[in-house]
Amino acid sequence: MVFREDLTELILREKGFTYNVEEFNAELEKQKRRGRASSALKSEDWTVLVEDAEQEFVGYDTLEARVKITRYRKVTSKKDGEMYQLVFSLTPFYAEGGGQVGDKGYLEDAHGDVVYILDTKKENNVIIHFTKNLPKYLNEPLKAVVDSKQRYRTECNHTATHLLHQGLREVLGTHVEQKGSAVHSKYLRFDFSHFSKVTAEQLQEVEDFVNAE
């Protein structure tokens, strides 16, 4: 739930605290700068293996596919250290988007060696796969496999956010609007606007609505 500034000030005053908006904004900006610095990526140039401008996403129909790496590069960040970004000719991996996290899984070569896909994101409409290591045989076809259990749990939580939004509008009113979300395999977060604190009874009504649906 997102609180308006005047409501935040009122709640703090009732608890015996004061709200200094200038200090808050200054600290918020510091935190944003720290966050940008910790997540900033330093990347090397792409190494191109196959001149292939097209990339096909097949992840709605299958969670496993034979792929070829078309390009890769090393990236470094304070948060994750050294990693590699891989681009495939086609991919069953869903890239992070709409609040939903990217798929995880693995690559397996013909010799049984495995490299784990730790995250999947999209950059300039290209799906990029994050790994800690490069496959040994970069020019050979690889079997790409999505973690089906994580995908299923994430899909369920994504569906739950839509039901939660509907339930909140049913119980609290049609003025409720989504302000953001985060959909993971183990949990979900749904941000919304409302003019007052949601009561325990209202929360129970929303939960009952979602479960019934």
Predicted confidence at residue 15, as pLDDT, reads: 82
Amino acid 12: pLDDT: 79
- Domain chopping of the chain, boundaries: 5-39, 42-146, 153-212
Query: Given this model, what pLDDT does residue 9 score?
Result: 76
> Which percentage of the chain shows pLDDT scores above 90?
70
3-state secondary structure the chain: CECCHHHHHHHHHHCCCCCCHHHHHHHHHHHHHHHHHHHCCEECCCEECCCCCCCEECCCCCCEEEECEEEEEEEEECCCEEEEEEEECEECCCCCECCECCCCEEEECCCCCEEEECEEEEECCEEEEEECCCCCCCCCCEEEEECHHHHHHHHHHHHHHHHHHHHHHHHHCCCCEEEEEEECCCCEEEEEECCCCCCHHHHHHHHHHHHHC
pLDDT greater than 90 at residue 172: yes
Give every strand in the sheet of 105-108, ordered side by side: 64-67, 142-146, 105-108, 114-117
Task: Output the pLDDT for position 112.
Answer: 94
Quick one: fold of 42-146? Answer: Elongation Factor Tu (Ef-tu); domain 3 (2.40.30)
The pLDDT value recorded for residue 209 is 95
Residue 142 has pLDDT above 80, yes or no: yes
Torsion region of 91: left, alpha or beta (phi above 0 gives left; psi -120 to 50 gives alpha): beta
Total-model pTM: 0.73
* Confidence at residue 30, expressed as pLDDT on a 0 to 100 scale: 72
Residue 4 has pLDDT above 70, yes or no: no
pLDDT score at 53 = 66
Q: How far is the C-alpha of 60 from the C-alpha of 92, rounded, in Å?
A: 7
**CATH hierarchy code of domain 153-212:** 3.30.980.10
**Residue 170 region, left (φ>0) first, then alpha (ψ -120 to 50), else beta?**
alpha
What spatial distance separates the first Cα and last Cα of the chain, rounded to whole Å?
Answer: 22
Task: Give CA–CA dist 164/76, Å, rounded.
Answer: 38
Q: How far is CA 197 from CA 2, 17, 88, 106, 188, in A?
A: 10, 19, 47, 44, 20
73 touches 47 (CB < 8 A): yes
Q: Is 31 exposed, middle or buried (0-12, 13-18, 19+ CB in 10 A)?
A: exposed
Looking at the DSSP assignment, which residues form a beta bridge with residue 91?
A: 57
